[in-house]
Structure 1
Amino acid sequence: MTLRIGDEAPDFEAQTTEGPIRFHDWLGDSWGVLFSHPKDFTPVCTTELGYLAKLEPEFARRNIKVLGLSVDPVEDHTRWLDDIAEVTGHKPHYPLIGDPELKIAKLYDMLPADAGDTYQGRTAAMNQTVRTVYVIGPDKLVKASLAYPMSSGRNFDEVLRLLDSCQLTAQHKVATPVNWKQGEDCIIVPAVADEEARERFPAGWKTVKPYLRLVPQPGGAPRT
């Protein structure tokens, strides 16, 4: 299957470094970030998992849960955690899924159906497409996805910015312009007619074009 924005994120059961989970139940009414990496004990991913551990409080105060995935087994993940802590100074406490039969990687269209059914004998290069970030809403729908090559470390500050934008849209019916940062003006989405906009934004807005209406960021900083 091919996952697109607006599709339901497939549910699954899995073993993780924090115990067994059923994905939709584990997510509950939170937002979620499901991110994958090709193999444990790889250099770029070691730096990524440590930095994400550092950022986890920022995700948590926005009601966002973080979940990692690799096709290696949980036992390997657990051993890797010490390396991550040593290299980056931050030990992940978010769950890391073990997917040694490749089931979840296939379910999320990160590996083809004919990739086999075991992690054994597979190199990082063979798993290079297991390198995606999925942003998933409380409604269990995919809100965004980002795919990176193995050689490029992911920018999790940008993932956090993306989530802030998605949450603003969900809560206030505003979009965010190019290079938007926290506290900057937002755009009233075109689906909101002026009559509804007057109710939502009684202080008014700046009309740049009939289809481009700017308002101060509603809601202030991310909720705690």
Structure 2
Amino acid sequence: MTDSIVSFPQLNRPAPAFNAKTTHGMRSLTDYKGKWLVLFSHPADFTPVCTTEFIGFAQRAEEFAHINTELLGLSIDSVHSHIAWVRNIEENFGVDITFPIISDLSMEVAKAYGMIQPGASDTSAVRATFIIDPEGMLRAMVYYPMSNGRSIDEFVRLVKALQTSDANGVATPENWQPGDDVIVPPPATTADAKARLSQGYDYVDWYFSKKSL
């Protein structure tokens, strides 16, 4: 008996294409070419944890836009449910949800992105977040349990870190923030390892050196 093969998105591979109905009309992955995209799912409309997350994303939308990043939400509810929820958030919390929300009643997008986790729910998308670069490549994905909200600050930080790594050919250390020192890639040969000490970096050992940008 052959087990069925389930396909999941992979880092540094093209993100799964989609063409979906949203609260702002039809949206496809190609609409975001040239921009970074944060695609995030939530279990259901009109739920308290999701409401706090949508408020958090909305309050940081301008900062995301400043770093060439668009936001796109998703749940397996209808467009009409999304619209009612967005209006409810504005009425009750005074926050305008300016980004589109995918209506994924068929679960097509959710399944393509591995948002459906049978251990959590067969009918709702878990709290999954995907960062897609301007070329449509999937660069990061983070899954949260149904019971706990995400940190929007971390996704702002992560996009900035990815952009810094791409622009400068470096890595970033734990909890790196813009302006902090970055990690220089380790040398690939013994000769380069010997030379590393004299190259002017903040040197700890041949494999661990930092520099400022």
CA shift for structure 1 position 132:
0.2
Pairwise CA distance, 1:33: 0.3
Shift of 1:30: 0.5
CA shift in 2, pair 1:132/1:191, >3 Å: farther
State the shift of 1:188 in Å: 1.4
In structure 2, runs of 5+ residues without a counterpart are 1-6, 193-198
Counterpart of 1:32?
37
TM-score w.r.t. structure 1 length? Answer: 0.82
- Quick check: 2:129–2:143 contact (8 Å CA) kept in 1? yes
Q: Paired residues, what number?
A: 200
Match of 1:108 in 2: 113
User: Compared with structure 1, are the counterparts of its residues 128 and 97 closer, same or farther at alpha carbon in structure 2 (3 Å cutoff)?
Assistant: closer
> Letter of the aligned partner of 1:170 in structure 2?
D
Cα shift readout 1:9-31 (whole Å, capped 9, x = no counterpart):
011111111111121x2111011
Aligned to 2:22, which of 16, 19, 33? 16
Q: 1:152 aligns with which of 110, 135, 148?
A: 148
Shift of 1:48: 0.6
Match of 2:165 among 169, 173, 178: 169
> Which of 43, 67, 84 pairs up with 2:72?
67
1:183 to 174, 179, 183: 179
Partners of 2:188 and 2:153 lie apart in 1 by: 29
The CA distance in 2 between the partners of 1:37 and 1:158, in whole Å, is: 17
Residue 95 (structure 2) aligned to one of 90, 103, 109: 90
Asked if structure 2 preserves the Cα contact closer than 8 Å seen for 1:15 and 1:98, the reply is yes
Q: Is the 8 A contact 2:38 2:129 kept in 1?
A: yes
Letter of the 2:8 counterpart: T
Aligned twin of 2:4? none
Contact 1:51/1:90 (<8 A) preserved: no
Matched with 2:84 is 79
**Alignment match, 2:195:** none
Which residue in the other structure is 1:5 paired with?
Answer: 11
- C-alpha distance in 1, partners of 2:211/2:165? 13
The counterpart of 2:60, out of the listed 34, 55, 60, is 55
Gaps of 5+ in 1: 116-123, 196-202, 219-224
* SS of structure 2 residue aligned to 1:48: helix
When residues 191 and 168 of structure 1 are mapped into structure 2, their CA distance, relative to the original with a 3 A threshold, is farther
Shift of 1:126: 4.3
Further displaced range: 72-81 or 203-212: 203-212
Computed over aligned residues only, the root mean square deviation of the Cα atoms, in angstroms, reads: 2.3
Contact 2:131/2:140 (<8 A) preserved = yes
> Deviation of residue 85 (structure 1)?
2.0
